[in-house]
Structure 1
């Protein structure tokens, strides 16, 4: 087959898009919007084709399910169920077993990202009380939610996207809520067995960010500038307070107010109250500093004063702070937050936080205002935002009501065969009407950048199909597999997993789906094995922290390193792949 100009332009756009996503200098939604705009301007896509993704029921279902998850989260239902089931385990093995069982079960019915977000802080607290290293728990939590998400259409947005793509092909059977369970349950059982046997011995034993944060919180000192002392009128640089190793000046209180944006040129005044964070040795030195007096009426405690909160954030690949120091990125002014400590790979950086060059996955411990979580909870700059000193109260009546709504949604789809979008929309409205989620919170809950990414990926997938690129790639797959359907299925799965580990799961699904369909057509076999292969392969990301959102969310809090994912995740990926590729042809035969 000879490819035309439109096909080559599509290939160039896709290669450039992949390069931009790997480069990580721009948010995915802007990269994919740019790609669709180019294809639209050159006539590869019509306006209807370019915008079709925004009206696809699968994309709309993903948006509505964010509201349902917000109701479960806001009422404390997820935390309630998790705390009730987790209980008080005796020993690391039982702790891991209960955590894996609970998180995988929850993520079959609730999108796995909010499950990890809600359970991470609970697991950290659980780890502290039980004495079990948090690094033994958080990675199994992420992997278990990925495995559980394979078991239903609503467990992960990727399953819904593939279902939405399949609905556009006439003749394909419509998937029901638990159809993915035929392959998801065996894969999850094998994966969980691995995590509780070989996998648990491969997990590192490392202190997490919050274990070290407790040390940081213990060493906070409040000093007062002596009005008659040698520091009155001097800048911070002249006073020498910025040059002490292991010490950080968090804030200055002057006449009942906080001074914003402290710099080397900020001048001290008599009776200024300095809030200083640092190691015991550094604080011992500061207490002997000429011109500083101990504030006997100290009231400062990180996260313990009204208007101040202690927040844990994990830097995502898209954070503008990656590759820059806090001072270079003007972190305090940008986020209205003070960085108390930086944790990387399970170790707290001993240098002053302002000098640290930040990396993807770094966990920052911030002291900031309550509004921080509202502003940045859905930001792509952070993989996770966790208000540590906040213990959301569980509202038993509304928590039970929200769980009832979720159960009714699932029953409507499975027993009454109600369309998944209709049942999800009804559940979202019920959450709003019953007060399980407020309208303001519902708006914040929807991840609009993700919706844009998915809708734009639909358009690019359409371009692959209409220009003949999908057929040509499928032909290459068939050549590599010598025309054998099962070998082609294996190659398709491997390619999908690789794209998922390098890009995003939803983009990988949309790009590989038309290729799988074209391969089935050229082989003259039924397409369902290829549909399910793309569905599972685009979620089975275990080898890198960047392959799946939940992996990155636990990266810093668990004190993990990149190679930890390779060491623990590679055998898991191979096992899951072997199970998936054996089960799929048995349940959905080629002919």
Structure 2
């Protein structure tokens, strides 16, 4: 065994161990992998540059950037406006179909973010019965097209690097449709495993808002009732903190004292009415940011905020933003806003400063949502250019008239020229992490195959593809699925593609069944709230527990696996 092979095996093994140990930091793990390959002389300059400039990867980055403008339009809100009806069956079906079709061409994180509020606030059905199906529908919809999910585009990037050609727009559609139908039926049958509503509809629901009474406020010495603090629109005074002592519930005749902390809960869009009370300031007001645009975010799994309080991490210095309110759906928060221990999945409303958009740590710690108060209001002309341009770009590429990369370049230029996108938008949300992960994966894939390391790995497995092709596909699927649930879908696709490709190549069988199996298996995250962004977004919103994902997601995972393993060889013969 040569030195290069030993070094490559060591880097490959270290990458897998690193991804398991540091599950929330795949970009850093792959970054170290890339450096190791270059420093150890396993990859040359030409390979490094080609990995970062891979056409499939650049197409993925362009697609994500162009999708940012779509989030500013009203297209997703129009989709959500007519989903909720009195019949649970009809509501479930409308939500499932609408989400699936939208996710086939749009960013599924944006779709779930837009639909969260209509589902939570619908007057007919418990959100707990709809939110998890919403997340699963978004995942399944992504399997329908090449651009439905970043996983498909990452596999396509690797495929282009290995074969020199691209997968077609509809390569995934036949199997994807079968998955949507079969898994949708399974999900409907398993909805009985969803918990009964554990979210109350009392006044404690909504955002947790912290206001402080100044020592010279005219409200001091007067009761809650006299000050008119019990009759606010969609905001409710749920508790009062006085000299470290918590008072809850707050009686109407409770007399206010200087430096009291008043804790409200309710509709965040009504928060500005609190500033009308002289001497009453919000948590963000003390930071001088309250008059800035309000931005809603979700704390990512692995964020530096997870398990910390706002004060302990120095939130303002880190992000040039102040927290106006926090919400943890399914649980009532208590105490001072700055001292609450935050968790992954918590929703925050931020009053942001001028530097917030350009802070590189924003995307690493938050999923940025829209809908509280959009940072920019898109005009009618800009909306038409954005929506019409996106449909045209995707349509031309889908029918093979223009390369997707070219059509997206033109669309991006139009968006920048019309003002639908700004350079600040792109700078703030450029998917650097995805770019780094895929580039490193491409480089690792090249090294694994050029050094013959994959051949040695395959010899260790003692798999004879020619004799047991279906068993081999099952093993590839299982390994990819495990990595997806333990790490991330993108990492699973990146690590398993070179192994699957080499398995097929050395055995003189078609590579397509193996490529497609990796792609579909990497999107099969149904039994963990942390394996996929949309699962995390609905985790707290629905008050779910890990066992809920297992009970509902396991049947879906089994059916998903069976459909892939039976139909991929049918549509892509071995």
TM-score class, shorter: 0.7 to 0.9
Q: Out of 507, 531, 543, which is 2:491 matched to?
A: 507
1:93 and 2:81 matched: no
1:130 and 2:127 matched: no
Q: Out of 368, 371, 382, which is 1:385 matched to?
A: 368
1:105 and 2:101 matched: yes
1:157 and 2:129 matched: no
Q: Give the Å deviation of 1:467.
A: 2.7
Asked if structure 1 preserves the Cα contact closer than 8 Å seen for 2:480 and 2:496, the reply is yes
| Distance of 1:95 and 1:526 partners within structure 2 | 43
Q: Give the Å deviation of 1:580.
A: 1.0
Q: Out of 437, 449, 452, which is 1:453 matched to?
A: 437
User: Which shows bigger deviation, 439-448 or 386-395?
Assistant: 386-395
Gaps in structure 2 of 5+ consecutive residues: 222-240, 249-255, 266-275
Asked if structure 1 preserves the Cα contact closer than 8 Å seen for 2:83 and 2:91, the reply is no
SS in 2 for 1:418: coil
User: Which shows bigger deviation, 302-311 or 314-323?
Assistant: 302-311
Q: Give the Å deviation of 1:578.
A: 0.6
Q: Give the Å deviation of 1:192.
A: 1.8
Cα distance change of structure 1 residues 311 and 246 upon mapping to structure 2, 3 Å threshold: farther
Equivalent position of 2:186 in the other structure: 194
| Distance of 1:224 and 1:330 partners within structure 2 | 25
| Distance of 2:202 and 2:45 partners within structure 1 | 49
Equivalent position of 2:263 in the other structure: 278
1:290-301 to 2 correspondences below 5 Å = 297=278
| Distance of 1:372 and 1:212 partners within structure 2 | 33
Instruction: Please give the root-mean-square deviation of Cα atoms over the aligned residues, in Å.
Output: 3.6
1:83 and 2:86 matched: no
Equivalent position of 2:39 in the other structure: 41
Equivalent position of 2:245 in the other structure: 244
| Distance of 1:580 and 1:151 partners within structure 2 | 13
Cα distance change of structure 1 residues 75 and 63 upon mapping to structure 2, 3 Å threshold: same
SS in 1 for 2:543: coil
Equivalent position of 1:72 in the other structure: 70
Q: Deviation per CA, 1:51-90, whole angstroms, max 9, x where unpaired?
A: 322110111001111232122122333333x235x34422
User: Which shows bigger deviation, 340-349 or 26-35?
Assistant: 340-349
Equivalent position of 2:11 in the other structure: 13
Equivalent position of 1:22 in the other structure: 20
1:105-504 to 2 correspondences below 5 Å = 105-117=101-113, 119-120=114-115, 123-170=116-163, 174-199=166-191, 201-203=193-195, 205-207=197-199, 212-214=204-206, 216=208, 222=213, 224-225=215-216, 241-245=242-246, 274=259, 276-278=261-263, 297=278, 307=291, 312-331=296-315, 333-335=317-319, 346-361=330-345, 363-366=346-349, 368-369=351-352, 374=357, 379-386=362-369, 389-390=372-373, 395-479=379-463, 483-504=467-488
| Distance of 1:210 and 1:554 partners within structure 2 | 20
Asked if structure 1 preserves the Cα contact closer than 8 Å seen for 2:528 and 2:550, the reply is yes
Q: Give the Å deviation of 1:359.
A: 3.6
Q: Give the Å deviation of 1:433.
A: 3.2
| Distance of 1:334 and 1:157 partners within structure 2 | 29
| Distance of 2:47 and 2:202 partners within structure 1 | 48
Q: TM-score, normalised by structure 1?
A: 0.80
| Distance of 1:198 and 1:57 partners within structure 2 | 41
| Distance of 2:521 and 2:205 partners within structure 1 | 37
Equivalent position of 2:268 in the other structure: none
1:524 and 2:508 matched: yes
SS in 1 for 2:397: helix
Aligned length: 533
Equivalent position of 1:260 in the other structure: none
Q: TM-score, normalised by structure 2?
A: 0.82
Asked if structure 1 preserves the Cα contact closer than 8 Å seen for 2:358 and 2:427, the reply is no
Cα distance change of structure 1 residues 136 and 382 upon mapping to structure 2, 3 Å threshold: farther
Q: Give the Å deviation of 1:354.
A: 4.6
Q: Give the Å deviation of 1:509.
A: 0.9
| Distance of 2:357 and 2:83 partners within structure 1 | 30
Cα distance change of structure 1 residues 143 and 358 upon mapping to structure 2, 3 Å threshold: same
Asked if structure 1 preserves the Cα contact closer than 8 Å seen for 2:217 and 2:280, the reply is no
Asked if structure 2 preserves the Cα contact closer than 8 Å seen for 1:133 and 1:205, the reply is yes
| Distance of 1:416 and 1:482 partners within structure 2 | 34
Equivalent position of 2:237 in the other structure: none
Equivalent position of 2:251 in the other structure: none
Gaps in structure 1 of 5+ consecutive residues: 231-239, 248-270, 281-294
Asked if structure 1 preserves the Cα contact closer than 8 Å seen for 2:119 and 2:131, the reply is no
Asked if structure 2 preserves the Cα contact closer than 8 Å seen for 1:327 and 1:355, the reply is yes
